[in-house]
Each structure stands twice: as structure tokens, then as C-alpha cells.
Amino acid sequence: MALAAVIAVVIAPVLPPMPETPLMSWASVGIIAEQIVIGVAIGLVMRIVFAVVQAAGNLLA
């Protein structure tokens, strides 16, 4: 987590400014949906990784 925080602090000043998107617009709905899909995908991948590690532990035990 510390590495991610350091990378975020280092990269943040060089990023372009965020676009001004009204909260109640189709663009913001698309951005929200995109973030939800990304979060679900990351959660699914992590769940699969933990399941593989757990299965390997059960196999070795």
C-alpha cells in the first residue's frame, strides 16, 4: 500500500486536469458505471487469486 501511495503522489502532479463533468449527466453515469465495472473486475481477480492459494494449501495439507 505504501508503494501505491508513493506512486500516486509522484504521478499526480504530471496528470492533466480532470474534465469538468456535471454530476447529473450521461457522461457522469458512464464514468460511474466504468468505475463500478473496474472495481468488480479487480475484486473478482483477487477472489480467484485467494481461491487458488487456498486450494493449493488444501492440496498440500
DSSP string spanning the chain?
A: -HHHHHHHHHHGGGSPPPP---SSSHHHHHHHHHHHHHHHHHHHHHHHHHHHHHHHHHHH-
Rounded Cα gap, residues 51 and 53, in angstroms: 5
**Is residue 56 included in any domain, yes or no?**
yes
**Is residue 16 included in any domain, yes or no?**
no
pLDDT at 50: 97
**Is residue 57 included in any domain, yes or no?**
yes
Q: How many domains does the chain have?
A: 1
Containing domain of residue 50, as a range?
Answer: 25-61
**Is residue 14 included in any domain, yes or no?**
no
Q: pLDDT tens for residues 5-41? A: 999 999 999 999 988 889 889 999 999 999 999 999 9
Does the pTM surpass 0.85? The reply is no
**Is residue 32 included in any domain, yes or no?**
yes
